[in-house]
Amino acid sequence: MEEEMEIIFQKLTECFEKRRFADLRITLLDMKPADIAHYMENNLQQTERLMFFRLLPKELASDVFSEFESDTQEDLIRAFTDKELKAVVDDMFMDDTVDMIEEMPANVVKRILKNSDPENRKQINELLEYPEDSAGSIMTTEYVSFSAKMNVEQAFDKIRRTGLDKETVYTCYVTDGRKKLIGVITVKKLLLSDKNDLVENLMDTNIITAETTDDKEQVAMKFSRYDFLALPVVDKEGCLVGIVTVDDAVDVLQDEATEDIQKMAAILPSEKPYLKQSVFSIWKARIPWLLLLMISATFTSMILSGYEKELSALVSGATLYAFVPMLMDTAGNAGGQSSVTVIRALALGDVEFKDMLKILWKELRAAFLLALTVSIVCFAKLMLIDRLYNDVTAKIALIVSGVLFITIILAKLVGCILPLLAKKIKLDPAVVASPFITTIVDALSLIIYCSIAIALLA
């Protein structure tokens, strides 16, 4: 598949360079908008893109445009004539236009709005007012609606009349005179019904809706739970104001997963694909946590320094130092396992704060088993391997593996409690993930290690 695409891309380049534009158009007509956009962004110079865009078959132009990264969109808009801009914007779906506008500087926004139909402009302005990350910000206002007294034939007529511009026609919405949403009906149901049946007798009145201010992640989770193709969005009065379609829900789910993964790795989330990020923006996303965690490691230095004299006084002081990294890493890994498990379960809606005790009890038992296994193996390893290069006595081996046992259990408990507490106080659980927990767990394990070793060996 990928190779096939490479061949098509090469053909495009050849046709474009040799100015065989008729061939170029034929090839383009057989391609999907997403692939054309990918080609233009990755294989053309910025200066070539406008010329290439003008060669696109008319029916593809706005679809391709919707697929671009916002930087590419901005460059093109700045190069467009007013007429070109109007043609593209009028043809785009409303939610794509709004997504685009949200990323543009003010002067470009102004130009886009100036070149939209008055009706579109009004709707765009309304959509722009919804908070970022809300259902309102990802919905489109282009849906098909019926009144309850229509029959199936009239419903199909309405779809035929208005459907071309709608993002989906497969789920239609039934509203009363005040635009209050009273039912949902699918085209499948319409197709399988008699043409004289009334919409009100066929429609499903058991409707799952989102409110405009709902978080878009929760909206997307409803798609994965109920297998919808589209979800109606209503205002506080229950009036239909728009719909979210499954393709946008998929994007939200993917973005949220990426964001959580970034946060878990101590990176501030970025929406751009990796290769489009500037070195400076990568620096900006990574430096805050890196600095914070480096500075908070002062605690571990302080702890080690604090115990220094007593440790050095022990015959086996240096031997004990040698196991600090192993203890810290293992505790960090153990805590990370728990925190990441709980964070993902929270994101998927598998667990909630009220399950805290259930989770604690489960993690405690798992931690006990894990700590037992790891510390037994560690004891064996110390006596068999580490003895070969180090003065490990049975007593030291017992202390190290005993401390390992305690710290694994502590790390697991910290790892599962912190994300839940974060959720409770409405912080994002993902930001307290492993790097943060590692810092806490490091300090804890060092204190335990040093104090136990000094108490038993002094």
Give the footprint of its own copies on residues 308-347 (CB under 8 A): 308, 311-312, 318-319, 321-326, 328-330, 332-334, 336-337, 339-342, 344-345
**Binding mask of the shown chain, residues 126 to 145, with x at each position contacting its own copies by CB under 8 A:** --------------------
Residue labelled with tokens 């593809």: 60
Considering only CA atoms, which of 371, 303, 383, 376 is closest in space to residue 333? Answer: 371
Question: In this chain, which of 3, 17, 59, 227 binds its own copies, going by CB under 8 A?
Answer: 227
d(CA 378, CA 385): 10
Q: Which of residues 80-109 bind its own copies (CB under 8 A)?
A: none
298 is a site residue for its own copies (CB under 8 A):
yes
Taking 3-state DSSP, the helix, strand and coil percentages for the chain, each rounded to the nearest 5, stand at: 70, 5, 20
Judged by DSSP in three states, 269 sits in: coil
Q: Which of residues 387-426 bind its own copies (CB under 8 A)?
A: 389-390, 404, 408
Q: Which residues pair with 233 in a beta bridge?
A: 210, 242
Give the contacts of 348 (CB within 8 A, at least 6 positions apart). 221
d(CA 93, CA 368): 55
Burial class of residue 122 in the structure, from the number of CB atoms within 10 Å of its CB (0-12 exposed, 13-18 middle, 19+ buried): exposed
Question: In this chain, which of 7, 106, 279, 458 binds its own copies, going by CB under 8 A?
Answer: 279
Question: In this chain, which of 26, 257, 394, 421 binds its own copies, going by CB under 8 A?
Answer: 257
Q: Which of residues 340-379 bind its own copies (CB under 8 A)?
A: 340-342, 344-345, 348, 350-351, 355, 358-359, 362, 365-366, 369-370, 373-374, 377-378
Residue 106 or 164 having the CB closest to its own copies: 164
d(CA 31, CA 8): 9
**Binding mask of the shown chain, residues 150 to 189, with x at each position contacting its own copies by CB under 8 A:** ------x--xx--xx----xx----------------xx-
Total residues at interface with its own copies (CB under 8 A):
119
**Binding mask of the shown chain, residues 43 to 72, with x at each position contacting its own copies by CB under 8 A:** ------------------------------
Angle CA 90–220–184, to nearest 5:
75
Please report which helix (H) or strand (E) contains residue 56, including its range: none
Written as one letter, the residue type at 61 is A
Backbone angles phi, psi at 183, to 5 degrees: -170, 165
Question: In this chain, which of 14, 18, 21, 32 binds its own copies, going by CB under 8 A?
Answer: 32
Residue labelled with tokens 């394990």: 445
Residue 81 or 274 having the CB closest to its own copies: 274
Question: In this chain, which of 54, 283, 313, 395 binds its own copies, going by CB under 8 A?
Answer: 283
Backbone angles phi, psi at 117, to 5 degrees: -60, 145
301 is a site residue for its own copies (CB under 8 A):
yes
**Binding mask of the shown chain, residues 182 to 221, with x at each position contacting its own copies by CB under 8 A:** -----xx--xx-------------x-x---------x---
